[in-house]
């Protein structure tokens, strides 16, 4: 599932491709999906968008948003967006297909669950979108050391593990289980470590690790575990993932450990990321 780096890359790609192209048709919910969510009746989206063009694409958290005047088309992190050239075959199944005047197209399909919300700005509320828009993005200047110190210094997070601290409660928009593994590996911190056991130096390292890792992922066009607008894998090799875990730790050569933890897998190097005696 895409997270902040891929949403950021996707918005850049949408700006260079679909933005500025006239929309001739929009088909929503062609393949009904139990966990595809819409804003109101998706059959109404076309009435707002036909003959218009998207002016810009933006991202916040793990979400991508296309804008046409005051109309918004927002995709949550579970939606795969793909661009098709004039002669490319369109997907057989999809929850959204937009055809443009020049013969190109954009599709959206839901993996497990996802939102494809079309609405006039101000007419739709969603708590995830609200959090992603209002909280400082971890790649913005507002996410500075002072802000991070407040986040990690809050009383209610002290007993949380680092995985829970980083990837739950929308605490840091767009930072999920996918990107946190390499962040923690780079900082030499175990995903099960409790926040209250971190030294000041370790907290500083975590702050820098978040910023640096996200920056590297975006610069490389996203993670290699995810696909971009053109169906290409990103260029950032996710060391702590199913793709590269078998290669061992790039820092020390140890075998990577994979465990089930908090409704997902965690990967870590047992040598570089010591748990200590706090669990």
Give the binding site for Zn ion (CB under 5 A).
249, 251-252, 254, 269, 271-272
Is 187 within 8 Å of 206 (Cβ atoms)?
yes
Q: Compute how many other C-beta atoms are within 10 angstroms of the C-beta atom of residue 134.
A: 10
Least distance to Zn ion from the beta carbon of 263, Å?
25
Residue closer to Zn ion (CB basis): 135 or 186 = 186
- Distance in Å, CB of 276 to Zn ion, minimum: 16
Query: Toward Zn ion, which CB reaches closer, 214 or 272?
Result: 272
Give the nearer residue to Zn ion in terms of CB position, either 94 or 192.
192
Which residue is listed with tokens 């995985």? 163
- Is the Cβ of residue 49 or residue 269 nearer to Zn ion in the bound state? 269
Q: Which residue minimizes CB distance to Zn ion?
A: 249
- Which residue's CB is nearer to Zn ion, number 154 or number 252? 252
Q: How far is the CB of 236 from Zn ion (least distance, A)?
A: 19
Q: How far is the CB of 38 from Zn ion (least distance, A)?
A: 45
CB nearer to Zn ion: pick between 218 and 249: 249
**First-to-last C-alpha distance (Å) of the chain:** 30
Rounded least distance, CB 181 to Zn ion, Å: 13
Least distance to Zn ion from the beta carbon of 270, Å?
8
| Sequence-distant contacts of 270-277: CB under 8 A, at least 24 apart | 272/185, 272/188, 273/184, 273/185, 273/188, 273/189, 273/190, 273/191, 274/188, 274/190, 275/190, 275/192, 275/193, 276/190, 276/193, 276/197
Pairing verdict, β 96-100 and 23-28: antiparallel
Cβ–Cβ contacts within 10 Å for residue 190, how many?
25
User: For residue 77, with 0-12 CB atoms within 10 Å meaning exposed, 13-18 middle and 19 or more buried, which class applies?
Assistant: buried
């Amino acid at each position: 599932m895409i997270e902040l780096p891929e949403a950021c890359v996707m918005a850049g790609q949408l700006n260079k491709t679909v933005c500025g192209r006239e929309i001739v048709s929009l088909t929503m919910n062609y393949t009904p999906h139990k966990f595809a969510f819409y804003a109101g009746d998706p059959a109404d989206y076309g009435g707002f968008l036909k003959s218009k063009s998207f002016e810009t694409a933006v991202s916040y958290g793990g979400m991508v948003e296309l804008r046409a005047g005051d109309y918004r088309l927002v995709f949550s992190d579970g939606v795969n967006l793909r661009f098709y050239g004039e002669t490319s075959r369109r997907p057989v199944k999809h929850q959204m297909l937009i055809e443009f005047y020049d013969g190109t197209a954009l599709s959206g399909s839901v993996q497990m669950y996802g939102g494809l919300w079309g609405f006039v700005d101000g007419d739709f509320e969603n708590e995830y979108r609200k959090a992603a828009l209002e909280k400082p993005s971890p790649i913005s200047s507002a996410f500075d050391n002072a802000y991070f110190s407040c986040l990690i210094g809050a009383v209610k997070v002290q007993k949380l593990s680092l995985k829970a601290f980083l990837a739950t409660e929308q605490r840091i928009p767009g930072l999920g289980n996918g990107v946190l593994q390499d962040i923690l590996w780079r900082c030499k911190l175990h995903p099960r470590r409790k926040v209250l056991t971190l030294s000041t130096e370790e907290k500083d390292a975590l702050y820098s690790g978040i910023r640096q890792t996200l920056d590297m992922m975006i610069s490389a066009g996203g993670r290699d575990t995810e696909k971009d607008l053109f169906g290409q894998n990103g260029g950032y090799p996710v060391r702590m993932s199913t793709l590269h875990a078998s290669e061992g730790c790039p820092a020390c050569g140890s075998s990577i450990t994979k465990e089930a933890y908090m409704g997902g897998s965690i990967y870590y190097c047992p040598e570089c990321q010591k748990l200590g005696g706090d669990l």
